[in-house]
Structure 1
Amino acid sequence: MAEILFVGNERVGARVAEVSGKEVEFTGDVTHIADIKDTIISKSYWAVIFDLSTFLDNYNVLAEEIDNLNRVSSARFIFYYLGKTPRSNLVYALTERGFTGFVTESIAGLANKQLQTALDGFASIEPYKPEHVSEDKVEQTSIEKKPTVISVAGCCNRIGTTTQALQIIKYLQFLGHKAAYIQLNDSEYVQKAAGLYSAEDIDRSLGRVTLNGTDLYSKPDQIAEIRGMGYEYLVYDFGSFSSKSFNLIQFLEKDIRIIVGGDSPHELGAMQDVFRSPILQNSTYYIFSFVHENDFQEIRGLMEDKADMTFFAKYTPDPFVYTSDSNDLYDKIIGATNTVEPQKKKGMFAFFKHK
């Protein structure tokens, strides 16, 4: 199998094999990043080299999509942009997201030197920041305004996936954070819940229903507007891995990934099928529902090398009611900071002072 995937044609990447000493696979010209995402994550490439000149996507969209792919791929990402200035919008958008390996020189000898530097894991160009963007502004754009996105999926149907998604939101709210639930499955949970419970607020244009202080969205296509509403965390409910509507690429792109399972023979078999998939890598967490504590050790043994990433949910009869007994579980997976000010105790003198 080829160790390097070159996203572009062989004419542009002709020297990659010679410089790297590795076998190279070429995709041919690609105009949209969405068309190549499956190919990039389908194999364990050592490096993926993108010919940026072939893409027609908006530079911010392209940079964001590549950043998302980088989160789920173990490959080193390098970018060909021959003859282009390192000050271009696309290069800046990528360097702002932490990428440093670029080949921009049009002279063959200099381009080869840049490529070798990038292959060795070093920055091959000097990072550039526009003069009109202050350091504070860059920091706010890249960190403060971008919510942490969590994906939750079940190894099979009716395993407590939605309950876990809602409990995570309640945990985040418990610590003082603004979080929202986004339905990305065909269960119609949000619509059904709106009909069963008394909603505090409904926004049909956004597909939002507010129940028990929690915002639930049933229209993920409105994500741009949802992201602009100041949420610090977005929790996606992907439903079941076995569902036809399950989107593996979108699940893998999220910042934190969680899979929910159970301990019946059918559920354990489904969970093993999922966690043994090499594409999930080691940054996925596993939560088991409805398991007695006497069985914890045996379940961890069945999880093989994923035992350290395996956790057990507390008994949760009402998904909208959170218990602080779950703090330890979610602290280990999410690790959100507590922003709630502790209440100061009133001493005896304060009591008499306000009498």
Structure 2
Amino acid sequence: MIFAGNQERGYFSEEFAGKNGLDFAYVGTYPHIADQTNDILRHGKQDYTIFDVDTYIDDADEIADQIIRICRANNSKAIVYAPGYMLESAMIMALYDKGITYFITAQTLSSMKDQLEKCINGYYDANGIEEFKVIQREKNLEEEKKNLNIKLIGVAGACNRIGTTTHAMQIIRYLQLKGYKACYIQMNSTKYVSNMLEWFNVESQDEEIGRITYSGIDHFYNVNKIQDVLRLGYDYYVYDYGVNCDVNFNRVSFMEKDIKIFVVGADPTEIPYTYEIVKSAFYDDVKYIFNFAAKTDADDLKELMGDKYGSSFIAEFIPDKYVYVPTEIYEKIIPVTDLSVEQNKTKKRKGFFGKKRK
């Protein structure tokens, strides 16, 4: 086993190799992976070569191509060491798309060793990495969406108990009121739908596709069935992504939605989380709904939001998430033609011309 990087970062793999009777060596760091190639190959045939991708300044495709060349040459399996990287990052996805499937992204010693062991004992070969399966499903959804006349709305919160699910349900109520079919999709780890199923009297349930219906709203909770859900004929799909500060928050999937909404706050316990989102260059083309904020705070919020103030709105008080509170906010964020008016006109016309003659 070779660790292409320094000892300070690779010590966990050295310990693992020692405990498992594997020969081990370090290869010094280089800013360009091509310059490291000969040093790695001087060690001859290897079972595994671990690459610390943080040491390179090359772009992701160049790193991926060179890793493949090196591992072909020394007949080893490539393991990418990228602690703290999200699996949907450009670097990881470029490597994955080229056929590299062993990754160590953990940041604690025990988790690093666990991921390394799974790479070596064939766990990922047999089971894959669940996060990659989700990412692939998202790609498939985007392809399928191109052929369907639907809109996807992503709703996320700055922190816990900020009202993310409340506004997701209010958006669905708004769309239903306008004459559209809309549903709720749980894309977080809160167990909101399963708790509802356990403690509330739901109107119906479909375990096959992962759906419950409560208060006239279809709630979907099985992410493995989303492609099937998209074929069910809803006009709008409202995704509840949970909160930005959750380690499992899928920001890439959130940003791929047609309409993206963050529910944020101005309370002293909420402002740090709100500011973290606002200052991030990653979140472009996003709308912000301030929950539990007073309209008299508008001037202070303008200072906080800066150039994103024009995309910010202060919500009305919502005592019950399933009871719609009339507001202009959703009309500004999601402007739609009021189909209910058109439908009523059609019904009246049919009633007049369809009158039976005696």
Q: TM-score, normalised by structure 2?
A: 0.59
State the distance in 2 between where 1:263 and 1:176 align: 33
State the distance in 1 between where 2:249 and 2:145 align: 29
Using a 3 Å threshold, how does the CA distance of structure 1 residues 204 and 292 change in structure 2: closer, same or farther?
same
SS in 1 for 2:269: helix
Using a 3 Å threshold, how does the CA distance of structure 1 residues 171 and 262 change in structure 2: closer, same or farther?
same
Counterpart of 2:293?
A: 291
Using a 3 Å threshold, how does the CA distance of structure 1 residues 36 and 183 change in structure 2: closer, same or farther?
closer
Q: Could you tell me the percent identity over the aligned residues?
A: 35
Counterpart of 1:331?
A: 331
CA contact (8 A) 2:152 2:238 kept: yes
> AA paired with 1:191?
S
How far does residue 252 in structure 1 lie from its aligned partner after superposition?
Answer: 1.4
How far does residue 160 in structure 1 lie from its aligned partner after superposition?
Answer: 0.3
Match of 1:238 among 226, 241, 255: 241
State the distance in 2 between where 1:144 and 1:322 align: 32
SS in 2 for 1:291: coil
User: What do residues 33-78 of structure 1 show as CA deviations (whole Å, max 9, x unaligned)?
Assistant: xx98412699xxxxxxx9xx9689xxxx99x83996xxxxxxxxxx
CA contact (8 A) 2:294 2:314 kept: no
State the distance in 1 between where 2:92 and 2:262 align: 19
How far does residue 320 in structure 1 lie from its aligned partner after superposition?
Answer: 0.8
Counterpart of 2:283?
A: 280
Segments of 5+ residues of structure 1 without an aligned counterpart are 1-8, 11-22, 43-49, 69-96, 98-140
How far does residue 164 in structure 1 lie from its aligned partner after superposition?
Answer: 0.6
SS in 2 for 1:246: coil
Higher-Rg structure is: 2
Counterpart of 2:309?
A: 307
Using a 3 Å threshold, how does the CA distance of structure 1 residues 24 and 244 change in structure 2: closer, same or farther?
closer
How far does residue 242 in structure 1 lie from its aligned partner after superposition?
Answer: 1.3
- Number of residues paired by the alignment? 244
Segment drifting more, 154-163 vs 188-197: 188-197
How far does residue 176 in structure 1 lie from its aligned partner after superposition?
Answer: 1.0
Counterpart of 1:65?
A: 139
Match of 1:193 among 192, 196, 220: 196
CA contact (8 A) 1:41 1:279 kept: no
SS in 1 for 2:139: helix
> AA paired with 1:307?
Y
Task: Identify, as 1 or 2, the structure richer in helix.
Answer: 2
Counterpart of 2:176?
A: 173
SS in 2 for 1:304: helix
Using a 3 Å threshold, how does the CA distance of structure 1 residues 289 and 217 change in structure 2: closer, same or farther?
same
State the distance in 2 between where 1:36 and 1:214 align: 33
State the distance in 2 between where 1:155 and 1:190 align: 21
State the distance in 1 between where 2:145 and 2:236 align: 15
Counterpart of 2:164?
A: 161
CA contact (8 A) 2:156 2:263 kept: yes
State the distance in 2 between where 1:192 and 1:36 align: 29
Segment drifting more, 158-167 vs 253-262: 253-262
User: What do residues 251-274 of structure 1 show as CA deviations (whole Å, max 9, x unaligned)?
Assistant: 112111111111211211110011
Misfit runs of 4+, over 2 Å: 23-31, 53-56, 64-68, 141-144, 194-198, 341-346
State the distance in 2 between where 1:336 and 1:217 align: 24
Counterpart of 2:77?
A: none
Using a 3 Å threshold, how does the CA distance of structure 1 residues 256 and 65 change in structure 2: closer, same or farther?
same
> AA paired with 1:65?
K
**What is the aligned-residue RMSD (CA, Å)?**
3.7
Match of 1:207 among 190, 204, 210: 210
How far does residue 162 in structure 1 lie from its aligned partner after superposition?
Answer: 0.4
CA contact (8 A) 1:207 1:218 kept: yes
Counterpart of 1:119?
A: none
State the distance in 1 between where 2:233 and 2:248 align: 28
How far does residue 195 in structure 1 lie from its aligned partner after superposition?
Answer: 3.0
CA contact (8 A) 2:150 2:235 kept: yes
> AA paired with 1:145?
L
Match of 2:322 among 308, 320, 323: 320
User: What do residues 136-156 of structure 1 show as CA deviations (whole Å, max 9, x unaligned)?
Assistant: xxxxx8766242111111111
Match of 2:90 among 15, 39, 55: 39
> AA paired with 1:333?
I
SS in 2 for 1:192: helix
User: What do residues 128-175 of structure 1 show as CA deviations (whole Å, max 9, x unaligned)?
Assistant: xxxxxxxxxxxxx87662421111111111100000111111111111
Using a 3 Å threshold, how does the CA distance of structure 1 residues 199 and 255 change in structure 2: closer, same or farther?
same
Segments of 5+ residues of structure 2 without an aligned counterpart are 1-32, 35-56, 69-85, 101-134
How far does residue 241 in structure 1 lie from its aligned partner after superposition?
Answer: 1.1
How far does residue 187 in structure 1 lie from its aligned partner after superposition?
Answer: 1.0
